[in-house]
Amino acid sequence: MDVESQQTTAEVTHLKACINDLIGVVTLPAIWSGGEPSQIVRTVLDVLLGMLRLALAYVRLTDRVGEAPIEMVRVAQSRTLTARPEEVGEVLNHWLGDDPQQWPPRVRHPLGDGDMSLVPLRLGLQGDIGVIVAGSQRADFPGQTERLLLNVAATQAAIGLQEARLLSEQKRVANELDQRVAQRTTELAAANEALKQEIAERRLAEERLRQEERELKRSEALLAEAQRLSSTGSFTWRVVTDEITWSDQSYRIFQIDRATPVTFGLIDTRVHPEDLPAFKEQLERARSDGSDVAFDCRLQLPDRSVRYVHIVAHSSRDESGQLEYTGAVQDVTERRLSEAALSKVRSELAHVARSRASRY
């Protein structure tokens, strides 16, 4: 009866220890939550080494693009680690092969004397994350409880590593996104600055254009006023098309409505009939030899009044080589009448002077 009681007590104690170990393994994620893969691997190896009194615990994580491979090894405190994790991995692979499922149950201890029982545990569904190797010098390793703890630990480690990789990928994507956003923000800021500069330059150009337009209008107004005061009008004549452009004062001199298109036929109706042949002769000479023009003629206006005009024009060639004239027509009627009156007065004074001289 005492033997049975002792066995029951031992079993209860062992069961409690297993439950505590299982709870410890299950709560591992709380320790490494948010940690790096190296932290997760280090924690699992340390816990398994102490919990199961292993002689050796080794892990190798599968390489990922952009990540350095991770290999770690832990040995019992009674031994001194003299080999790097990579060397331990090479020894295990050399002795046992790449497929952990084909490994024999007992092998030579890679870091010491004697044989050792190995338990390979895949991390991930197909071992895509890596592998954990637990080694013990006990021939009956692993027991049923130990294998349960190893499987739970491997599952917890695989979940933690997968979450760590996902978190790392999220951070990488977030960093790339931040970089792209920063780059795009910089580009937009530069584009915005360039746009502001362009808008400022455009406003400045528009202001200069408005200023030039105001100056042009002012110059045109001054020219029109000067033409009005001097009774001088301006014109252009494109010979090849007989296109004629008049200023406002030219319309006034010829007494033609501003909306009426100017043609030589219309001008002929204003030239005095006695001066029309000479006027046409001047035009034909200008048309044929491109010489400058300067002549006087009379206008007979619709009210039957007669006006005297002086016409001058300078010839030039446009960019296509076509002949055109730019000139002015001035109403000199008042000057001609004044000259005629002055000539008449001088004639009369001369006649008086001769009459007096003949008396004496």
Same domain, 142 and 273: no
Number of domains in the chain: 2
Q: Do 20 and 128 fall within a single domain? A: yes
Which of the listed residues 112, 145, 179 is the one where a domain comes to its end? Answer: 179
Q: What is the pLDDT of residue 152?
A: 86
Same domain as 243, residue 114: no
pLDDT score, position 83 = 57
Tell me the per-residue pLDDT of 113-139, one tens digit each, with 9 for 90 and over: 677 788 888 888 777 888 888 888 888
On whether the CB atoms of residues 40 and 32 are closer than 8 A, the answer is: yes
Inside any domain, residue 237: yes
Residue 278 confidence class, pLDDT cut points 50, 70, 90: very high
Q: Do the domain assignments include residue 138?
A: yes
Give me the pLDDT at residue 11, please: 58
CA distance 331 to 329: 7
Residue 330 has pLDDT above 80, yes or no: yes
Q: Which amino acid is at 220?
A: E
Q: Are 146 and 74 within one domain?
A: yes
**Residue 272 confidence (pLDDT):** 93
Same domain, 235 and 111: no
Cis peptide before 261 (omega within 30 of 0): no
Residue 340 has pLDDT above 80, yes or no: no
pLDDT digits (tens, 9 = 90+) for 2-18: 655 655 665 566 567 66
**So what's the pLDDT on residue 146?**
84
Whether 149 is covered by a domain: the verdict is: yes
Residues 243 and 128 in one domain: no
- Rounded to whole angstroms, how far apart are CA atoms 175 and 173? 5
Mean pLDDT along residues 40-54: 85
Asked if residue 200 is part of any domain, the answer here is no
User: Average model confidence (pLDDT) for the chain?
Assistant: 80
Q: Are residues 171 and 242 in the same domain?
A: no
Q: Is 294 within the bounds of a domain?
A: yes
Counting every residue, how long is the chain? Answer: 360
CA 213 vs CA 45, 199, 206, 248: distances in Å: 86, 20, 10, 19
- For residue 1, the model assigns a pLDDT of 47
Kindly state whether residues 175 and 240 are assigned to the same domain: no
Instruction: Indicate which CATH number applies to the domain containing 239.
Output: 3.30.450.20
pLDDT for residue 239: 92
Does 273 share its domain with 145? no
Give the model's pLDDT for residue 158. 83
Residues 173 and 235 in one domain: no
Residue 31 within any structural domain of the chain: yes
Domain that holds residue 316: 231-359
Q: Which of 155, 179, 203 finishes a domain?
A: 179
> CATH number, domain at 40?
3.30.450.40
Domain contains 242: yes
224-257 pLDDT, tens digit per residue, is 665 566 678 889 999 999 999 998 889 999 999 9
Which is more confident, 310 or 73? Answer: 310
- The pLDDT of residue 109 is 64
User: What's the rounded Cα separation, in Å, for the pair 60 and 96?
Assistant: 15
Q: Is the pLDDT score of 65 beyond 70?
A: no
- Owner of token pair 């066995």: 7
Do 240 and 173 have their domain in common? no
Three-state SS string over 220-233 comes to HHHHHHHHHHHCEE
Nearest Cα residue to 238 out of 326, 313, 320, 310: 326
Residue after which a domain boundary falls, among 137, 157, 179: 179
Position 166 scores a pLDDT of: 83
> Which stretches within 231-272 are classed as H helix?
248-254, 264-268
Are 283 and 270 a contacting pair, CB within 8 Å? no
The whole-model pTM stands at 0.48
Note the pLDDT tens digit of each residue in 292-301. 989 999 999 9
**In which order are the strands placed within the sheet that holds 115-123?**
70-75, 56-61, 130-136, 115-123, 106-108
Asked if residue 14 and residue 151 are part of one domain, the reply reads yes
Q: In this prediction, what percent of the chain has a pLDDT beyond 90?
A: 20
Residue 216 lies in a domain: no
Residues 6+ positions from 85 with CB-CB distance below 8 Å: 58, 71, 72, 73
Query: How much of the chain is helix, strand and coil, in % rounded to 5?
Result: 55, 20, 25
d(CA 189, CA 195): 10
DSSP 281-335: HHHHHHHHH---EEEEEEEE-TTS-EEEEEEEEEEEE-TT--EEEEEEEEE-HHH
| pLDDT bracket for residue 309 (50, 70, 90) | very high
